[in-house]
Amino acid sequence: MKFFVDTADTEEIRDLAATGLVDGVTTNPSLVAKSGRKFLDVVQEICGIVDGPVSAEVTATDHETMLKEGKKLAGLAPNIAVKVPLTPDGLKTCKALSDAGTMVNVTLCFSPGQAILAAKAGATFISPFVGRLDDISTDGMQLIADICQIYNQYEQFETEVLVASIRHPIHLTEAAKMGADVATLPPGVLRQLYKHPLTDAGLAAFLADWEKTGQSILDD
């Protein structure tokens, strides 16, 4: 499973990218707005930090303007994935950009039927939002299971399942068991994956025992 980090905070991205765990980045207008910086400047900087796909979202809602915005975003760097909404105009834009060789991330997916449409439109990634479904008392993880099952039935579907709106590590591990291709994680959730009380307790015990020896690995 690939890990994308879901943020527009370039310092966070640099820190996490240094671990070797980050395969790409997803952004959206809300995340970039929090940075207080110009959208295109932030996106271009992120593209220089990571080698993998960087999702940058269009802000238009009509096909003609979406396509213009998508082409401009794609021109920023070769690792841009243009993010479009799962609407008729968004899918039309997805088809045009995909045919031109641009990676496309179709976002705001909430049903298996929508995911089928995105795959047929040539999307590189489909982004089902599990947390937002959970918020309305719907099983978000069932959507991931359904999409993975459907995509696996058809060799011609090359779209990768990018699990979005992840709220906690359980979302991630369940998605991994279902065979999802990508998880995009807020930095805080990615860091939670390190944590386990038995790891902390074990390390503390090892260090206490080592200190009793009075030795240092770096001593001559």
Active site residues: 83
Contact yes or no for 106/86 (Cβ under 8 A): yes
Residue 42, Cβ neighbours under 10 Å: how many?
Answer: 20
Q: Going by C-beta distance under 8 Å and a sequence separation of 6 or more, which residues neighbour residue 192?
A: 168, 169
Q: Going by C-beta distance under 8 Å and a sequence separation of 6 or more, which residues neighbour residue 86?
A: 106, 107, 108, 109, 114, 117, 118
Q: Where are the alpha helices (DSSP H) in 125-196?
A: 130-135, 140-152, 169-178, 187-192
Contact yes or no for 5/11 (Cβ under 8 A): no
In 3-state terms, what secondary structure has residue 76? coil
Question: Where does residue 80 rank: exposed (0-12), middle (13-18), buried (19+ CB within 10 A)?
Answer: buried
